[in-house]
Amino acid sequence: MLFNLLVMPWIAQRNIQEVDYGTFMTMTVNKQIDQVQVQDNQIVFTDKENEQIYKTGIMDDPGLVERLHSSGAKFTSEIVQQMSPFFSFLLSWLLPIIILVGIGQSMQKKLMNKAGGGGDSMMFGMGKSNAKIYVNSSEGIKFSDVAGQDEAKENLAEIVDYLHDPSIYKEIGASMPKGVLLVGPPGTGKTMLAKAVAGEARVPFFSISGSEFVEMFVGMGASKVRDLFKQAKEKAPCIVFIDEIDAIGKKRDGNFGGNDEREQTLNQLLSEMDGFEGNNGVIILAATNRPESLDPALTRPGRFDRRVPVELPDLTGREEILKVHAKKIKVAHDIDFNKIARMASGASGAELANIVNEAALRAVRDNRSFATQADLEESIEVVVAGYQKKNAILSDKEKAIVAYHEIGHALVAAKQTHSAPVQKITIIPRTSGALGYTMQVDEGNRYLMSKEEMENRIATYTGGRAAEEVSLGSITTGASNDIEQATKLARAMITRYGMSKDFDMVAMETVNNQYLGGDTSLACSHETQAEIDRQVVELVKKQHEKAKQILTENKQKLDELAKYLYEKETITGDEFMSILNK
Ligand code: ADP
Ligand code: ZN
């Protein structure tokens, strides 16, 4: 339509020949003019013989109309060029179709190039899956490369065993699960585990990310799934690994305007999984960190019926992961991995790998040939709090405030018997925006926390602000993060852990996605909400008062320690304790 609207008039225009007024007058006299149209700024006319269209400018010519009339010209309101019907059909219909087909072809080529499809099936290459194939996975990752995660490895060892020798399983009539779902927070080694299964079993490994299935065009994802399974069945026994399966496996809901493409892809995946028999040697591993958002159809028996949790590593797990990664770099002989692991509490495998790498980078920066304990400790701080801001200069007054603030945290923590001892206190600003921080170290694994411990932790959070109040009599914005943390903890105690006096064991809040930030949603009446808010304030207030009391009782130590920190800028836990116990 656009073509006919814009291009056709243009083509018609092009055929008009411009002549001078004299020629026009001569043609009038010679009675050569067939049709004529006098417009505002030009005269358009045709001649009798070859039907050519001419145009010429307007002149002040009063007798023109008379002369034209007597020459036998026909006055018309519009002159259209008579094209041959065949030619105009060609132009207005065939040409646009040819252009469209051309565009289509080139797009298809582009898509196929992207899909990396070979030249074998050019015509039907659309939507070929771009699963990467690691055929020779025997030289790939092994279980020994994945540290910690012993339960997950045990769980997956059975699958390796099956892929090695399915006959034992077939004999007894047992069938392997078709799909295994690896769930856990990001960076805990899910992808590594899947690769390790293929590596141990020495089978091909197909890997594709869930988001790669979701294409612009409806139906492309589904055809990718079909293609992936076709390839996999040819290569069986093998592992198919789908990363971030939540990208396609989200719960289908009845909402208007749902994602058609995603649902079609999911349906195709479901029917492919049902389609192959249990024992054909294709095992699908999938990873997600949002298991609660998966469609129930995906997790029902016969599909992804086995779920392997891949949690954040515990203390021994962290130590092992550090050791595995430290093997890849040159390190000093006397490294205390246990201490590093304790300092990096809550870190994931990926973060630990990053910490080791940062240490190696630091060693290079300092022109050393190996990384030391200090490198590792500093790189934990880099990963946790960012780089030291070398040129951020605090004014003396600010520096004193930060010193009091940090000593406040540490002193409150140390004076409460249940709090973990302090590892290090520093008032060197970091790129994350922290002006200083107190690093606490857990002595061992903690799986449970008592109500008192949680209260003490809140008191420790408030300790920074309390120190400002007790010693300087004014308060600053430096406590904003502490306030957030204290509130979060207090809220959780009341709404989720049943630690308030009058809600008993009723859940007021539910966690939405435990592996990603763990945001919560309230499930209670307005009155209860108001009551929760009141109790949170009361709880934090009480601990704040307690912190203030502790600091007032130890005002002398507070001053002494803050002065020491102000001068030294960084002090260790041991220095802190020796001054405290002097
Ligand atoms: P996920 O798939 O769970 O997000 P990955 O398997 O991609 O995490 O892990 C990312 C990186 O983190 C790995 O390449 C590896 O270097 C490191 N890593 C994570 N977990 C472990 C572990 N348990 N042992 C050793 N390295 C690990
Ligand atoms: Zn603080």
d(CA 402, CA 437): 9
Lowest mean pLDDT among 231-240, 293-302, 380-389, 569-578: 380-389
Among protein residues, the one with the nearest Cα to ligand 1's atom 11 is: 350
Q: Burial level of 413, CB count in 10 A (0-12/13-18/19+)?
A: buried
Are residue 215 and residue 141 in the same domain, yes or no?
A: yes
Are residue 427 and residue 352 in the same domain, yes or no?
A: no
Looking at all shown ligands, the one closest to residue 402's CA atom is 2
Average pLDDT over residues 295-301: 83
CA 447 – ligand 2 centroid, Å: 25
Q: Does the pLDDT value for residue 467 go beyond 80?
A: yes
The residue with greater pLDDT, 85 or 503, is 503
Lowest mean pLDDT among 32-41, 247-256, 398-407: 247-256
Per residue in 19-69, pLDDT tens? 888 888 888 888 888 888 888 788 888 887 767 788 888 888 888 888 888
Average pLDDT over residues 157-185: 85
Q: Which entry of 263, 272, 406, 469 is annotated as an active-site residue?
A: 406
Average pLDDT over residues 559-576: 89
321 in ligand 1 pocket by Cβ < 6 Å? yes
CA 214 – ligand 1 centroid, Å: 25
* Residue 22, in any domain of the structure: yes
Query: Can you tell me which atom of ligand 1 is nearest the CA of 324?
Result: 25
349 in ligand 1 pocket by Cβ < 6 Å? yes
Query: Can you tell me which atom of ligand 1 is nearest the CA of 147?
Result: 24
148 in ligand 1 pocket by Cβ < 6 Å? yes
What does the pLDDT read at residue 347?
84
Average pLDDT over residues 109-138: 50
Query: Can you tell me which atom of ligand 1 is nearest the CA of 195?
Result: 6
- Domain end, chosen from 328, 362, 385, is at 385
Lowest mean pLDDT among 145-149, 329-333, 343-347, 490-494: 343-347
The residue with greater pLDDT, 112 or 17, is 17
Per residue in 504-529, pLDDT tens? 888 888 877 777 766 777 888 888 89
> 546 near 459, Cβ under 8 Å?
yes
* Residue 277, in any domain of the structure: yes
* Residue 390, in any domain of the structure: no
CA 532 – ligand 2 centroid, Å: 25
What percentage of residues in the chain have a pLDDT greater than 70? 86
Residue 137 is given by DSSP the state G
Are residue 328 and residue 475 in the same domain, yes or no?
A: no
Identify any residues that bridge with 55 across adjacent strands, giving them in sequence order.
18, 44
* Residue 417, in any domain of the structure: yes
The residue with greater pLDDT, 149 or 383, is 149
Are residue 540 and residue 401 in the same domain, yes or no?
A: yes
Per residue in 195-214, pLDDT tens? 888 888 888 888 888 877 77
Q: Indicate which CATH number applies to the domain containing 48.
A: 3.30.720.210
* Residue 484, in any domain of the structure: yes
d(CA 141, CA 199): 6
Average pLDDT over residues 317-325: 91
* Residue 119, in any domain of the structure: yes
Query: Can you tell me which atom of ligand 1 is nearest the CA of 192?
Result: 6
Are residue 370 and residue 302 in the same domain, yes or no?
A: no
What does the pLDDT read at residue 210?
80
Query: Can you tell me which atom of ligand 1 is nearest the CA of 193?
Result: 6
Residue 535 pLDDT level (bands cut at 50, 70, 90): very high
Are residue 304 and residue 327 in the same domain, yes or no?
A: no
CA 376 – ligand 2 centroid, Å: 24
287 in ligand 1 pocket by Cβ < 6 Å? yes
Q: Does the pLDDT value for residue 162 go beyond 80?
A: yes
Query: Can you tell me which atom of ligand 1 is nearest the CA of 243?
Result: 2
| The model's pTM | 0.67
Among protein residues, the one with the nearest Cα to ligand 1's atom 9 is: 189
Looking at all shown ligands, the one closest to residue 403's CA atom is 2
What does the pLDDT read at residue 123?
39
- Domain end, chosen from 363, 385, 407, is at 385
What does the pLDDT read at residue 121?
36
- Number of compact structural domains in the chain: 5
187 in ligand 1 pocket by Cβ < 6 Å? yes
Average pLDDT over residues 406-432: 80
- Domain end, chosen from 67, 97, 125, is at 125
Are residue 209 and residue 267 in the same domain, yes or no?
A: yes
350 in ligand 1 pocket by Cβ < 6 Å? yes
Among protein residues, the one with the nearest Cα to ligand 1's atom 12 is: 350
Q: Is 406 labeled as catalytic in the residue annotation?
A: yes
What does the pLDDT read at residue 149?
86
Among protein residues, the one with the nearest Cα to ligand 1's atom 17 is: 350
> 419 near 460, Cβ under 8 Å?
yes
Per residue in 436-450, pLDDT tens? 777 776 666 667 888
d(CA 229, CA 268): 10
Looking at all shown ligands, the one closest to residue 413's CA atom is 2
* Residue 391, in any domain of the structure: no
What does the pLDDT read at residue 548?
95
What does the pLDDT read at residue 552?
94
CA 74 – ligand 1 centroid, Å: 87
Q: Does the pLDDT value for residue 418 go beyond 70?
A: no
The residue with greater pLDDT, 115 or 408, is 408
Are residue 561 and residue 473 in the same domain, yes or no?
A: yes
Residue 220 pLDDT level (bands cut at 50, 70, 90): confident
Q: What residues make up the domain containing 427? A: 396-580
* Residue 10, in any domain of the structure: yes
Among protein residues, the one with the nearest Cα to ligand 1's atom 1 is: 187
Distances (CA, A) of 217 to 7, 111, 568: 30, 11, 63
d(CA 32, CA 131): 74
Q: Indicate which CATH number applies to the domain containing 507.
A: 1.20.58.760
Are residue 460 and residue 566 in the same domain, yes or no?
A: yes
> 206 near 228, Cβ under 8 Å?
yes
Mutate to test the pocket of ligand 1, among 180, 181, 188 (most ligand atoms within 8 A of CB): 188
Among protein residues, the one with the nearest Cα to ligand 1's atom 15 is: 350
Ion ligand 2 residue ranges (Cβ < 5 Å) = 464, 482
Average pLDDT, the chain: 82
126 in ligand 1 pocket by Cβ < 6 Å? no
Are residue 423 and residue 475 in the same domain, yes or no?
A: yes
Q: Does the pLDDT value for residue 216 go beyond 70?
A: no
Looking at all shown ligands, the one closest to residue 311's CA atom is 1
Are residue 477 and residue 429 in the same domain, yes or no?
A: yes
186 in ligand 1 pocket by Cβ < 6 Å? yes
192 in ligand 1 pocket by Cβ < 6 Å? yes
What does the pLDDT read at residue 112?
64
Per residue in 324-365, pLDDT tens? 999 989 888 888 998 888 888 778 899 899 999 999 999 999
Are residue 327 and residue 347 in the same domain, yes or no?
A: yes
Residue 136 pLDDT level (bands cut at 50, 70, 90): very low
288 in ligand 1 pocket by Cβ < 6 Å? no
Q: Are strands 42-47 and 53-57 parallel, antiparallel or unpaired?
A: antiparallel
Among protein residues, the one with the nearest Cα to ligand 1's atom 5 is: 189
Query: Can you tell me which atom of ligand 1 is nearest the CA of 146?
Result: 24
Q: Indicate which CATH number applies to the domain containing 348.
A: 1.10.8.60
Residue 544 pLDDT level (bands cut at 50, 70, 90): very high
Q: Indicate which CATH number applies to the domain containing 213.
A: 3.40.50.300
Q: Which residues contact 532 (CB under 8 A, 6 or more apart)?
A: 491, 494, 495, 503, 508, 524
Residue 118 pLDDT level (bands cut at 50, 70, 90): very low
Residue 122 sits at φ, ψ, to 5 deg, of -60, -40
> 197 near 171, Cβ under 8 Å?
no
CA 238 – ligand 2 centroid, Å: 52
